[in-house]
Structure 1
Amino acid sequence: MDPLQRSLIAFRHAPVPLAGVCYGRLDVAAELSPAGAADVIERALAGLGLRPGTIWSSPLSRCAGPAAELSARLGAPHAVDDRLLEIDYGAWEGRAWSDIARDDARAYAAWLDAWERAGPPGGESALEVEARVRSFWRALAPASVASGALLHLLVAHAGVMRALRVVAGGATWPAAMSAPVPHLASERFPLPAPAVSLAGM
């Protein structure tokens, strides 16, 4: 089987106009229209000679909008999955990071010290994000294909892509966090290995 048929190709959504703001799960519009973001992703796929069998996204519009546009253009189903939501920052959503650091200094310092295991007030830890992304990833199956390279495509949030680096790529969380996740740039992740039947052995 072509390795690309055992791949998940993820593109981060287009930028949002909220520099310095903790926006997490807020459903904020991206700076590019869904059609504009889909143009960029479609050109990248064409340059690689790839076509998606399924297009995945979270329900938030900055991911779901381009995914739906690509679905209509490419004739591939669009699947929305809540496990692909951005990290939940709880009480900090919608606030400037500078305000959080000033006004919630103790909670902010505690989170910075233990972010892998502890979330913001009312929010998620990195390990909780990892658990739901791992559940999604483990459920993916190799794409069947009659001709051409067919694969899973994901329009993703940065937190989900970093979790995939851990889940599918074997990175540590500090390593996953240290590397940037550029907007509308792709990363390739392998799919989980198929289960091996022990029947008859």
Structure 2
Amino acid sequence: MDPLPHDPVHDLVAFRHAPVSLPGICYGRLDVAAALPPAEAADAIERALQGLGARPGVIWSSPLSRCAGPAAELSTRLGVPHVVDERLLEIAYGAWEGRAFSDIEREDPSAYAAWLRDWERAGPPGGESAIEVEARVRSFWRELGEGSCASGRASGAPSHLLVAHAGVLRALRVIACAATWPAAMSAPAPHLSAERFPLPASAVPLAACQGARTLRA
């Protein structure tokens, strides 16, 4: 999809971290390395920001290295703060962390089937549901709206940049763009590509977000 024209009501630009080379593995909260070094992931994000004419005032991430590494690199390059917030962690898979999904399905079939039936409200053993992820991300989003500066909006530069996990991006689609969870999950979340989200202080209908349209890097 072609980049969106500048829209001053969108104050959060989020990028999913670089890919992780663990096909078929449930790794949510595990601190696994991305396939790209932090500097290379930061290069891709920085190029996309230049294409958007965007310069953030603060960079947010979870504490996990696949997000925090590129965020710290960008913080140094752009001379803006990097803030780590645990509300931005990937969904917790509890007892399933680090296991292959095929093994989980074979070894814990009842719990796996129950999760597939009701993943919005029920999490894996010791893990989180989608609604629980939504609650913590909503808290973060609301605080951004309360602190959003008018000068950042007027200049055309987004006031916040987020290096994010896929679960957090999808929660933002639900929270900021009025998507349903099934719709948020079914839409792709490409690595190192940007999505723009309105903040609560932006006086604009949520429909204007149009499902958190993706800005290709």
**Residue 66 of structure 1: which of 55, 67, 70 is its match?**
70
Letter in 2 for 1:163: A
Q: What is the TM-score when the length of structure 1 is the normalising length?
A: 0.92
Whether the 8 Å CA contact 2:56–2:159 is kept in 1: the answer is yes
Partner of 1:137: 141
Measure, in 2, the Cα distance between the counterparts of 1:37 and 1:126.
Answer: 27
Question: How many positions carry a matched residue from both structures?
Answer: 194
Deviations 1:51-106 (A, max 9, x none): 01110000000000000000000011101000000000000000001101111111
Whether the 8 Å CA contact 2:93–2:128 is kept in 1: the answer is yes
How far off is 1:6 after superposition?
4.3
Indicate whether 1:181 and 2:189 are aligned: yes
Q: Secondary structure at the match of 1:22?
A: coil
Partner of 2:180: 172
Whether the 8 Å CA contact 2:93–2:124 is kept in 1: the answer is yes
Q: Secondary structure at the match of 2:102?
A: helix
**Residue 171 of structure 2: which of 163, 188, 197 is its match?**
163
How far off is 1:5 after superposition?
6.1
How far off is 1:151 after superposition?
2.1
Whether the 8 Å CA contact 1:15–1:32 is kept in 2: the answer is yes
The 5 Å alignment of 1:65-144 reads: 65-140=69-144, 141-143=147-149, 144=151
Distance 1:56 1:100, change over 3 A: same
Gaps of 5+ in 2: 1-5, 204-217
Q: Give 1 or 2 for the bigger CA radius of gyration.
A: 1
CA RMSD of aligned residues (A): 1.6
How far off is 1:148 after superposition?
5.5
Partner of 2:161: 153
Percent identity at matched positions? Answer: 77
Partner of 2:212: none
Q: Secondary structure at the match of 1:59?
A: coil
Partner of 2:8: 4
